[in-house]
Amino acid sequence: MGNFYPVALPILNGNEKKYVLDCLDSTWISSNGSYIKKFEQGFAELCTTKHALACSNGTTALHLALLAHGVGPEDEVIVPTFTFIATANAVTYCKAKPVFVDSEPDTWNIDPAKIEQKITPRTKGIIAVHLYGHSADMDPILEIANRHGLFVIEDAAEAIGAQYKERMVGSLGHTAIFSLFGNKILTTGEGGMITTNDESIAKQIALLKGQGMDPKRRYWYPVIGYNYRMTNIQAAIGCAQLEQAEWHIDRRIQVAGQYYENLKDCEFITLPTEKEWAKNVYWMFSAVFHSFTEEQRDEVMQRLYQLGIETRPFFYPMHKLPPYQHLQPASEFPVSNRICSQGINLPSYGSLTSEDIQYISANLKQVVTQVHEAK
């Protein structure tokens, strides 16, 4: 095999090494240090929020956000079924119940028109996931939440830099979370961030993520907390990434634009959308083979891998997974059932060249056509 194109690749082309070495020289390598506060302040500025709080990963960010909003036993939280499992798991960590909603057929995000019918007296809030880099339709979600007295958490793990009606994701709901895993647009290797404009929520998250220690009384713990902190080394990498945030985001959009141009005429492929009110940052550039079975989709992936092109399937919807499949019947989710079996993510990192994208696109079109003709 010649060149190999992974699905994701971190781009560390700024001051990452310089700042990490500074941490090593200073010996501030754990969960204290100047880079943490600097990273939080810079992230809040990026998202146009008052507060940003760094933590160990996107899943712990979700858990902290739910805890700060008071989610506990017997509560219900509305979640899109088509999402990464962490969204549902974090609700379960709180001993609450995730209630699933199907997707919009075009954006693949939670369908606002199907939310209200899932609200019960036990519903505490809604998690709106900005899937693969495209924002959910937030205004109707927030309107429903306000009418029923519910919180809204944005799961923006995959959507750093995305916008909704010229507003930054992370600033739209009551609280938002981000993942900074190695395959994300901005990365700290592992890491997460929580943004909010609510002072009381920010204070509660800060308390919970540091074992619950009272900020005014060392080693006094008024609540049961968690060790969900980010290290100074991770934050140092994050600071370097933030310095080039615009470049990282623009490169994803440029890569997506080249895929669009190369693939737009393939009759078997449905490409990701960008609503007129959205700025899609294309964390993953995705394709849905609209007339294929899951087995045919998998065959396309296998053939591409033999050509040096790694892909990955769409997430399994939550209602299909063993921990959650007993909660709601699969028949409630026709859109998610379809797209999860037909969708793949293509290599989507910023260092791909035009020649790389041309190679991937040409082989994808050829393989998809061959598999379709072999039906």
Contact 171, 195 (CB under 8 A): yes
Map tokens 């985001």 to a residue: 249
pLDDT of residue 128: 98
User: Comparing C-alpha atoms, which of 205, 144, 142 is closest to residue 177?
Assistant: 205
Mean pLDDT estimate for the chain: 97
Residue length of the chain: 375
Q: Which pLDDT band, with edges at 50, 70 and 90, does 358 fall under?
A: very high
pLDDT in tens, 219-230: 999 999 999 999
pLDDT in tens, 148-207: 999 999 999 999 999 999 999 999 999 999 999 999 999 999 999 999 999 999 999 999
pLDDT in tens, 109-143: 999 999 999 999 999 999 999 999 999 999 999 99
Per DSSP, the residues of 194-233 read EEES-HHHHHHHHHHHBTT--TTSTT--SS---B-PPPHH
Map tokens 């709901």 to a residue: 173
Domains and CATH numbers, the chain: 16-102+109-243 (3.40.640.10), 245-373 (3.90.1150.10)
pLDDT of residue 290: 87
pLDDT in tens, 259-309: 999 999 999 999 999 999 999 999 999 999 988 999 999 999 999 999 999
Average pLDDT over every residue of 76-85: 98
Q: Is 51 strand, coil or helix? A: strand
CA dist 99 and 111 (Å) reads: 13
pLDDT value at 214 more than 80 = yes
Contact 83, 58 (CB under 8 A): no
Q: Which pLDDT band, with edges at 50, 70 and 90, does 374 fall under?
A: confident
Helix axes 85-93, 58-68, angle to 10 degrees: 40
